[in-house]
Structures are given as C-alpha cells and as structure tokens.
Amino acid sequence: MSEYRAPLKEMRFVMQELAGLDQVVSLPGCEEATPDVVDAILEEAARFAGEVLSPLNRVGDRDGAKWKDTVVTTSPGFKEAYRQFVDNGWNGLGCDPEFGGQGLPKLLSTAVSEMWKASNHAFSLCPMLTQGAIEALMIAGTDEQKAAYLPNLVSGEWTGTMNLTEPSAGSDLAAVRSRAEPVGDGTYRIFGQKIFITYGEHDMTDNIVHLVLARTPNAPEGVKGISLFVVPKFLLKADGTPGERNDVYCVSIEHKLGIHGSPTAVLAFGDHGGAIGTLVGEENRGLEYMFIMMNAARFNVGLEGLGDAERAYQRAVTYAKDRVQGTEVGVRGGPKVPIIKHPDVRRMLLSMRARIEAMRALAYVTAAAQDNAHASQDAAAREKARAFADLLIPVVKGWSTESAIDIASLGVQVHGGMGYIEETGAAQHLRDARITAIYEGTTAIQANDLIGRKIAREKGATIMAVIADMRAAATQLDGDLAAIGARQNAAVDALERAVLWIVANFSTDPKAAHAGAVPFLHLFGIVAGGWQMGRAAVVARNKMVAGGNDPFWAAKLATTRFYADHFLTQAEGLAESVVAGATGALALADDSF
C-alpha cells in the first residue's frame, strides 16, 4: 500500500506566488521564517508525515482506540509517534515564544498542518484541539491560568480539549445544562456530561486540559448564560505538576464510521463530588471565548478536508497508473493499457486534482490573511485582512470538506470494485472525510454564518470588495488564457447576483435566504477557488513565456482550464438555486415528507 508524499512543489508555489510568503515573513515577529528555515521545516515535516504518521494511518483505522474501565488506549504506535511529534517541537510551531512556541507564521504552520492531516487524519486531531485550547487561554485566560497550563500545552506535553456538546444539546448550545457551583477563591465544582469529545481521554500524555462550557447558579437562560472553565484531568500540585485525579472520567468512546484512531469520548464531570475547575475570563461570556477555539478548529477542519482529498487523489493516481485493463479508446486491436489512459478516469483524476489545487490555494491565502490581521503594523490593513479571513473561514471549512467527500468518493470510483475493498485503503479516506462536513459546525451552520454574520450584517461590504479583486484578477486572463477569463467573469457575475439577492432579502424573507445558504456557500467556494486558480495560471503562463520549461507550469495551465470548464460553469446554476430555489425547498408540507 502506497504511503503519503507531501506535494512540496505545489505547496511552495502556493505559499510563494499566491499567498505572498515574502510579504508575510516581513511582518513583525515573523522574521525568523527565512527561506532556509521555511524549506527545512517543510522538508522535515514531509519526512515525518510520510515515514512516521502515514504508516500508522491504516493501523489506526484497523486497530482503533480502545476503552476499558474509564481508560482509553490509543492505537498501536500512536503514543510513540506523539512522543516524537512533541520531541521534534512540532506542537509549538506557530505558538507564542513567551510560552515556548516558535512564533512562526500561520501560513507556514498551515502547510505543515496539511501534511499531518493528509498523512494521518485521526492522529492530527489531538494537536488540533490543543491548538484551540491554547488560543482560548491566550486571549481569555488569567495570568495564573496561562502560567499553569500554556507552557505544557504549547510544548505538547499536555493536550487540550473543547467540551461543548451534551446529550440534549447538539449544535444548539443554548440548551447546555452542565452546571458550575462556586466554592470560593475563583474555584468551581463542575457537574454534567459532555459527548463527542475528541481525545477527551487517551494515554499519550500525563495530563489533559479540558475547556468546558457550563452554567453558574444565577446564569440567565440561553447562550448568554454560559461560562467557560478550565478543568484538568489531574489537578496541579504546588510545583505545577499533575497531582490528584480530578472528578472527570471517560464513561465510553463512540463507535464511528471513520477516524477510528481518534477516541471520541463521553465524559462525566462530577459523579464523585464535583470536578474542580476555574473560570476563564468573565462569567457568562463562555460561548464568546469558546468561539475562539471553534473558529480556529473550523479552519483546521477545512485543512482536514484538503488533506483527505490529497491522500485520496494520490492513492487513486497510483492505482490508475498500475492497473492495466482494456485497450485505449480509438486504438483498434491495441494492447491492454493502464486505466489512466481511459478518458473518464482522466476526467475523474482531474476533477480531484483541480479542486484540491483550488482548495489549497484558498486555504493558504486565508492563512496569510490571518497573519496580516495579527501582525500588520497598519491598522487599516489589519482590519481588511481580518474581515477577509472571517469571510473565508466558513468557506474553507464548508466547501473544502464537502468537496473532500466527493473527491474521496471519486477515489473509490477510480479503483472500481477494488475501491470497495478495505484492503486497498481507498474506502478509509471516504469514511474519514465524511465527518469533516459535520463536526465543528455542519455545512449548514457554516453557510448560515456566511450569509448572516459575514454578508447580510455588513450589507455585503467585504464580499463585494473581494468580488472587485476577482474582476481585477480576471483582466490578466487574456490571450491564450481568454477562455478561462471568460468562464471566470461569468462565474463572478453569478456570485455577485446571489450576493445582491441575499443582501436585499435576508431581513424580509429569512427562510428563503437560509434555504439557499448552502448552495451559496458552494457557489462562493467554487468562484473563489477559480479566482485563485486563475491567478496561478497567470503566473504559470508568465513563467513559460520567460522560457521556463518545467512541466509543472504546463500542468498548472491544464488543471486551471479543467477547473474553469467543469466547475466555474456550475456557478450560474448555483446562483439560480440561491435566488429562486426557496419556493421548492419550502413548499412541501411537513406531513408530506
């Protein structure tokens, strides 16, 4: 079975030419990311992903995490791989140097994260949740909490979790019923049960730091009455090391369709007198703080979609080149050929590859915007970058994950009947990818956030500025790229039509607007991806005009043309679904379903 190989050439191209690596590393605090450092990190991450994490991917799927008497044992090899991960400093790559991190740009850590997710989705979930806990404590934690927890979270010696969901409160966090009873000195006893807690219990570290949503006794009902608490698995001794076991236990782990190597825990807080926790930030602002974790997690789940798609594509290409079946179309009496010679197999592989390139470009450009939002010295530039990143994160999450499911499914199709057999590995990518469109906010939640908070609330100001950038970029698609430019212009017109309709109708007909929210998310993702593909094509064309004969440039033009012909052409239909699709979606009576 083939192992994952990081597409370093493509990654470097996107980082440099589309995401603006040179500009990012010029930002204050990013100076350490010299070209030599960036290359060394990418090369070593690719080695670790391919040689350490990838071989464990199948192991985790086959021999998933096990639960017995509140104790969870991770898949064979995971504990040892995590130790290497921590010892090599990977966990603190983008974290604040004040707490032991390396302070490297989000753009670089995004490329590295893609490698973890592509090589071993289940393993990558543990450090991903830890990063979210770090961000929440950095912004809302007290000085004492930061000193107590951040050094070990940043290093990866301890891991973090986010505890939102309860048996009676799925995505509706207003229904959270876990309670926090004050006992003095800022300490609380936490009672309740949380479900779907990724790496809520495991054997890879000697402490787990849970961030938990709960209600204090006099809290108002609804989301305005939720507070956030730090609840460690082991309480800390005076010297900061783990001591007495806290009253939080794993009562089971879920049996899932995929990501078997990632334990998804049911945690019980307070069955033996109350789990000790401390308040993060101000009382009743917990959901606001938790959204810090959720926003970071949503971007990273989009990278999971990208990683699963890349891995499925690599496996499909390997199989298509090796599998000999049938004669080449139009060659009468010819020899049997590898299936990559067959037109429809090529179409499927290009459908996978072109979308992966678009997804990667959009994610990396969004990562660079987050770097600028954090570190630019110009206030207006920071605000513009923040607005852009906020607009794109639900698209990176929603569109990339939905695309990944289809791409992984195509990977199975390329394998034919063998794709349906677990031993080939193709089916695992489909099973693993399926969760990405659900957790950290379903596709509909991302889409509703996009049309409501990110577009209607500001009357479309940010997205219209992005549309203007798209139109400006399309002017460079001339000459031999004119056909791509025509597709892009038509797609941007469709996007603008849908945006104007949402702005005009969101308040007066909210049901109609929400009925078209997911089609709009797909529309925006496709057009934004095409925008980045068009920019890439211009770079490739210019390189070739200047005498560059690297096959990489011709391949970039080919995938961009395929994307324009097969995906940008979907924009007008999706726009029609947005502006006119509500009638059918809302017409059927409940009893008629």
Active site residues: 440
Whether residue 226 contacts residue 213, with contact meaning beta carbons closer than 8 Å, is answered with: yes
Tokens of 291: 């959204």
Q: Which of 191, 205, 290 is nearest to 249 (CA)?
A: 191
> Which one-letter DSSP state was computed for residue 219?
P
Whether residue 426 contacts residue 415, with contact meaning beta carbons closer than 8 Å, is answered with: yes
What residues form DSSP beta bridges with 266?
252
Q: How far is CA 368 from CA 191, 293, 375, 445, 446, in A?
A: 41, 19, 11, 24, 21
**CA 140 from centroid of its chain's CA atoms:** 23
Main-chain phi, psi angles of 72, to 5 degrees: -110, 130
**CA 452 from centroid of its chain's CA atoms:** 21
208-214/159-163 β-pairing: parallel
Q: Which of 102, 61, 52, 100 is nearest to 79 (CA)?
A: 52
Main-chain phi, psi angles of 244, to 5 degrees: -65, 140
Whether residue 422 contacts residue 428, with contact meaning beta carbons closer than 8 Å, is answered with: yes
Whether residue 228 contacts residue 289, with contact meaning beta carbons closer than 8 Å, is answered with: yes
The CB density around residue 482, as the number of other CB atoms within 10 Å, is 10
Helices vs. strands in the chain: H and E counts, helices first: 20, 14
What residues form DSSP beta bridges with 66?
73
Q: Report the amino acid identity of residue 134.
A: I
Q: Report the amino acid identity of residue 538.
A: V
What residues form DSSP beta bridges with 160?
209
